[in-house]
């Protein structure tokens, strides 16, 4: 039994938002995690090298955007065996986000529902953190950037670009839209790509959750990415749900219940891409078997979030060990 499995019942007695804040506080101290990583073999999980958007990865299991929104935890997170880290979403200006509560757990299903609303300390803060970390970086960093206009997102791209390996464009967070509201993701993407033609680092795109299930929209978005020189896309299976426990009364479902939808979306994206850009899978991956199902379906790599919450700091090592065993 792992240390985290002993601690989890205590952590889960706390409200999810409080436990999230506590975890982030603990991860601000790099040294304990360096020691833990060294003692437990978390750091060098180089069991299945991978590549995404032209970036070499020690292994295909990364941490998704959303956990380290402000790039505060890079030193500690780098010690936990992930093949890459995705930070952000980095927003142009500081913003509070949605009202609390913002997180609800459903432990029996290993599910999370969130309505964060993209809280952020702002781009200037995040860039300073990335700049400071760049000198001691030992792991590929992708930075997810957001904004409410093509100009904001393009400026964000160029400001974070010198300090990361690739930039992930977030076209819109679903938790800042009202019921029934929609936006033209593909039109916004076309504008952004026109503004970042002089980029030096790979551009990747997070497929919006409402685009992913539609063959027409997904294929159109992928063709737009290819035409604009995008190197990779991330696709998941999150979906909007009513959740009375959230301050907004609704949010996005994550975790084990969305794995089948995420895998189906991945397969469709890989088919539409036809090898012309890389596809990163996301959604409900808790085990090596689930990770293998995405990799076998054509994912270049996978990032996860809910499994980090439910299974703890050793999840990347566990999945990579399982992948190694399957390959043996």
DSSP code per residue over 196-250: -TT--S-EEEEPPTTTTT-HHHHHHHHHHHHHTT--EEEE---EEEE-TTSTTSE
Question: For residue 139, is pLDDT > 60?
Answer: yes
CATH of 3-327, one of 2.10.109.10, 3.20.20.70, 3.40.309.10, 3.30.230.10: 3.20.20.70
According to DSSP, residue 303 is labeled E
Phi, psi of 137 (to 5 degrees): -70, 130
- Residue 293: other Cβ atoms inside 10 A: 20
Summarised one tens digit per residue, pLDDT across range 205-259 is 999 999 999 999 999 999 999 999 999 999 999 999 999 999 999 999 999 999 9
Give the pLDDT of residue 48: 76
Give the pLDDT of residue 45: 46
- Residue 128: other Cβ atoms inside 10 A: 13
* 101: preceding bond cis by omega (within 30 degrees): yes
* 89: preceding bond cis by omega (within 30 degrees): yes
Would you kindly state where each structural domain of the chain is located, as residue ranges?
3-327
């Amino acid at each position: 039994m792992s240390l985290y499995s002993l601690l989890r019942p205590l952590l889960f007695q706390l409200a999810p938002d409080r436990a999230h804040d506590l975890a982030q506080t603990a991860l601000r101290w790099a040294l304990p995690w360096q020691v833990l990583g060294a003692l437990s073999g978390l750091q060098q999980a180089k069991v299945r090298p991978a590549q995404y958007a032209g970036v070499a990865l020690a292994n295909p299991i990364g941490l998704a955007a959303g956990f380290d929104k402000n790039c505060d935890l890079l030193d500690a997170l780098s010690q936990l065996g992930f093949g890459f880290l995705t930070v952000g979403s980095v927003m142009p200006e500081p913003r509070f986000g949605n009202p609390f509560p913002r997180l609800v757990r459903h432990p029996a299903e290993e599910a999370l529902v969130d309505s964060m609303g993209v809280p952020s300390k702002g781009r200037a803060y995040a860039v300073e953190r990335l700049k400071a970390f760049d000198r001691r970086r030992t792991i590929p960093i992708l930075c997810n950037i957001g904004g409410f206009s093509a100009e904001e997102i393009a400026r964000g791209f160029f400001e974070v670009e010198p300090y990361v390996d690739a930039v992930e464009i977030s076209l819109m967070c679903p938790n800042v839209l009202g019921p029934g509201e929609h936006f033209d993701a593909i039109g916004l993407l076309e504008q952004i790509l026109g503004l970042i033609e002089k980029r030096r680092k790979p551009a990747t795109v997070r497929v919006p959750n409402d685009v992913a299930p539609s063959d027409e929209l997904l294929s159109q978005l992928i063709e737009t990415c290819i035409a604009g020189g995008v190197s990779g896309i991330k696709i998941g299976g999150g979906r909007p749900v009513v959740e009375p426990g959230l301050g907004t009364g609704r949010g996005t479902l994550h975790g084990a219940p969305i794995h089948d939808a995420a895998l189906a979306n991945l397969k469709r994206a890989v088919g539409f891409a036809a090898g012309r850009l890389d596809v990163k899978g996301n959604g409900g991956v808790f085990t090596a078997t689930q990770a293998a199902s995405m990799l076998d379906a054509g994912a270049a790599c996978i990032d996860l979030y809910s499994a980090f919450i439910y299974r703890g700091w050793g999840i990347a090592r566990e999945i990579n060990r399982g992948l190694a065993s399957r390959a043996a």
